[in-house]
Chain A
Amino acid sequence: MRRFSRDRLTAVLMLLPSLVVLAIFVYGFIGQTAYVSFTDWGRDPAQALAVSPQLNFVGWDNYQRLFTGLLESRFRQDLVNLVFFTVFFIVGSLGLGLALAILLDRGVKGEAFFRTIFLYPFALAFIVTGTVWRWMLQPQGGVNLLPTYLGLPRGEFAWLTSREQVWRFDWNQVPSITAGIVAVVLLWIAWGALRRAQHGQAFGFAIVGLALAAWGLAGGPGVELLPFPERRGFNLALIGVIIAAVWQMSGYTMALYLASLRGIPEELREAARVDGASGFQVYRHVVFPLLGPITLSAMIILGHISLKIFDLIWAMAGPDLATTSVPALLMYLRAFRGNQFADGAAIAMVLLLMVALVIVPYLWSSLRGEVRR
């Protein structure tokens, strides 16, 4: 027994260095970044580049400027870009990945060959993908030339350099829009709880959801972030970046889905077919419901990749192009090019918060499930 506990101690001691290092490099550094984000580091150029800079505490000022300052226009567009990019990137990768997985699951010849082709972009660096697609998307060459080989006129879309913007809204509406989206999610959860006959839970979510919706419709517009309207929207220049990102990552979702499809017992499908279900109905009623968990996992993984997207845009459009920029890129530019470290730190903290909102519930639920198992 004593032997065992000594070994147990050894075990913990062996793990300890990693734990300490991670505690410092992850949590300690996050704390330090948080601290920097509350200072004025970088506003005074003499301090920004000094050997040992003097920092002053400025509270939430940096954050306030990001969301409501006249000059932080780019940050706000970056956030909007990021939201649109994330949505289309996830939908595109899941959709294409699922389609490819279903095609491959139909027992085709040369499956391994096709699988290799679909997945290889995942092995590439985003920098490589970006460099390649930048060439693909030159307005007067690449993809735009393809229609001419079918006898059609050349494509005219300016891809990465387009300045067109669609689905425009006023930045001042963001609080009410956010409230609306959260309300819809809450009501959806309430609906799910109702179906599972958990009336108490359903009632709670419904009340909060309705309250938010009401606030969004009535009180929300009273919140003025900016003293003037600021039009934001979806920059069409992002389409090219989204295509390249989907090109790179849909093989990954294909692999996830394929593994998942292979895990569905053939008897289940057979039973459905015996009951007279058509091919499509088998998917609709038997296969898709079983893909729920892997879809969620894939969404989380893709979502956090998307929130951190940096190198792909750098290589495709260059770090200076505001129309395709995202907060991860802006943070780098602010901190390491402009030496406005406090601003950079504040952007980084916003980014961290967004990632945490996605990841923490996921980690919590999947590990809790594991313990229960």
Chain B
Amino acid sequence: MIAALKRTRWLTYGLLIIASLFFLGPVYLVIVTAFKEPAEIRLATAWHLPQRWYWQSFVVAWDAFSTGLRNSLILAVTATVISAMLGSLNGYVLSKWRFPGANIVFPLMLFGMFIPYQSILIPLFQFLRDVGLYGGLPGLIVTHVVYGLPITTLIFRNFYAEIPDEMLEAGKIDGAGFFGLYARIVFPLSIAGFVVVIIWQFTQIWNEFLFAVTLTRPASAPITVALAQLAGGEAVRWNLPMAGAILAALPTLIIYIILGRYFIRGLLAGSVKG
């Protein structure tokens, strides 16, 4: 019995380690490729360690990607903050100020986060052109704020549903109105909600590609577009795409590793009810 238990124990760890290799294998390959000299990169020796650790690829990649990284940073930070603020307000209204028709309005809002964005891309393009926002970051920010509203509203609504109505009733008796209740009771309790939403939105926007590739001109293109361009361009020398992939992945990875707990809450919230 005990021997059998031990065996399954070993089996469990064995399987976990095999799975870990599957998940970490690509990381290993990326790192050894990024640190090889271009001349040393050959298909047949792809898994070998670099003979000499070579930093230059990152310098070149930084040159190639610094604009993209800067664009992505401006884009992700601005759009995240705005959509989080709006989402918080919307969630507050939808959870604490139920109004007739809310049951219809809310699912209609939510549908907006599931649509394939191809189905709005042509009119969106025309719209941004007509208001003079096509091509630059402001247009992309507006886009991400608008299409981020459903998810941020959803997360905050579910979050605020946990705040007991009695607390707000008490506030009302003290004479607080719509904004007073928000400022004094709801907002201070929202910090965790904001962290979840901000992490979620930042990651989504940082990683987004379809809007980015359609709506920006090269000078304003975010990092995903820059990386796709470099990796898909002519005569791929793999050290640069790999170094670029590391640069593009680092911000979201760091957030994930530091704030993993909130990250998981965000993705659970992504499934409507959680």
Complex Cα distance, B121 from A331, in Å, reads 10
- A25, A118, A146, A311: the one contacting B146 at CB < 8 Å is A25
Q: At the interface, yes or no: B189 with Cβ under 8 Å from chain A? A: no
Inter-chain contact count A-B, CB under 8 Å? 277
Interchain nearest-CB distance for A330 vs B (Å): 10
**Cβ contacts under 8 Å, A146 to chain B:** 47
- A12→B271 contact, CB < 8 A: no
Interface-located stretch among A59-67, A134-142, A170-178, A212-220: A134-142
**Interface SS of chain A:** helix
- A134→B99 contact, CB < 8 A: no
Interchain nearest-CB distance for A251 vs B (Å): 8
Q: At the interface, yes or no: A318 with Cβ under 8 Å from chain B? A: yes
Interface-located stretch among A29-37, A72-80, A229-237: A29-37
Closest to B152 in A: A18
**Cβ contacts under 8 Å, B249 to chain A:** 123-125, 128
Q: At the interface, yes or no: A50 with Cβ under 8 Å from chain B? A: no
A residues 147-183 near B (Cβ < 8 Å) are 149
- A12, A14, A331, A355: the one contacting B114 at CB < 8 Å is A355
Complex Cα distance, B99 from A14, in Å, reads 13
**Cβ contacts under 8 Å, B125 to chain A:** 336
**Which of A4, A18, A255 has the most CB atoms of chain B within a 10 A radius of its CB?**
A18
Complex Cα distance, B15 from A351, in Å, reads 38
- B93, B227, B231: the one contacting A14 at CB < 8 Å is B93
Contact A123 to B253, CB < 8 A, known contacts A12-B93, A108-B16, A118-B19: yes
**Cβ contacts under 8 Å, B235 to chain A:** none
- B119→A348 contact, CB < 8 A: yes
Complex Cα distance, B214 from A15, in Å, reads 29
- A7→B97 contact, CB < 8 A: yes
Interchain nearest-CB distance for B130 vs A (Å): 11
**Cβ contacts under 8 Å, B93 to chain A:** 11-12, 14-15
Complex Cα distance, B121 from A341, in Å, reads 10
- B267→A252 contact, CB < 8 A: yes
**Cβ contacts under 8 Å, B39 to chain A:** none
- A106→B12 contact, CB < 8 A: yes
- B122, B238, B273: the one contacting A370 at CB < 8 Å is B273
Interchain nearest-CB distance for B111 vs A (Å): 6
Closest to B206 in A: A125
Complex Cα distance, B87 from A357, in Å, reads 27
- B13, B44, B116, B177: the one contacting A145 at CB < 8 Å is B44
- B26, B149, B209, B213: the one contacting A133 at CB < 8 Å is B26
Closest to A252 in B: B267
- B273→A127 contact, CB < 8 A: no
**Cβ contacts under 8 Å, B208 to chain A:** 125
**Cβ contacts under 8 Å, B111 to chain A:** 26, 359-360, 363
- B116→A315 contact, CB < 8 A: no
Interface-located stretch among A192-200, A201-209, A264-272, A301-309: A301-309
Tally of A interface residues using CB under 8 Å = 100
Q: At the interface, yes or no: A211 with Cβ under 8 Å from chain B? A: no
- B97→A8 contact, CB < 8 A: yes
A residues 317-373 near B (Cβ < 8 Å) are 318, 328, 331-332, 335-336, 341, 344-345, 347-349, 351-352, 355, 359-360, 362-364, 366-367, 369-371
Contact A29 to B271, CB < 8 A, known contacts A12-B93, A132-B29: no
- B118→A351 contact, CB < 8 A: yes
Interchain nearest-CB distance for A169 vs B (Å): 26
**Cβ contacts under 8 Å, B197 to chain A:** none
- A131→B241 contact, CB < 8 A: yes
Contact A4 to B103, CB < 8 A, known contacts A132-B29, A307-B116: no
**Cβ contacts under 8 Å, B147 to chain A:** 25
Interchain nearest-CB distance for B235 vs A (Å): 14
Q: At the interface, yes or no: A288 with Cβ under 8 Å from chain B? A: no
- A15→B114 contact, CB < 8 A: no
Contact A128 to B248, CB < 8 A, known contacts A120-B253, A310-B209, A355-B115: yes
- B23→A123 contact, CB < 8 A: no
- A141, A247, A300, A351: the one contacting B22 at CB < 8 Å is A247
Interchain nearest-CB distance for A68 vs B (Å): 22
- A117→B107 contact, CB < 8 A: no
- A18→B114 contact, CB < 8 A: no
**Cβ contacts under 8 Å, B78 to chain A:** none
Closest to A327 in B: B118
**Cβ contacts under 8 Å, B203 to chain A:** 123
Q: Which residues of B contact A (CB under 8 A)?
A: 8, 12-13, 15-16, 19-20, 22-26, 29-30, 33, 42-44, 46-47, 86, 89-90, 92-94, 96-97, 99, 103, 105-112, 114-125, 127, 146-147, 149-150, 153, 172, 177-179, 203, 206-210, 213-214, 224, 227-228, 231-232, 238, 241-242, 244-245, 248-249, 252-253, 255-257, 260, 263-264, 267-268, 270-273
Q: Could you jot down 16 A-B contacts, CB within 8 Å? A: A19-B109, A21-B146, A22-B112, A22-B146, A114-B20, A125-B227, A131-B231, A140-B44, A146-B47, A259-B264, A300-B271, A314-B228, A331-B118, A351-B119, A352-B115, A364-B107
- A104-B16, A145-B47, A332-B213 given; name 6 further pairs at CB < 8 Å: A14-B90, A29-B119, A103-B12, A307-B116, A348-B121, A363-B110
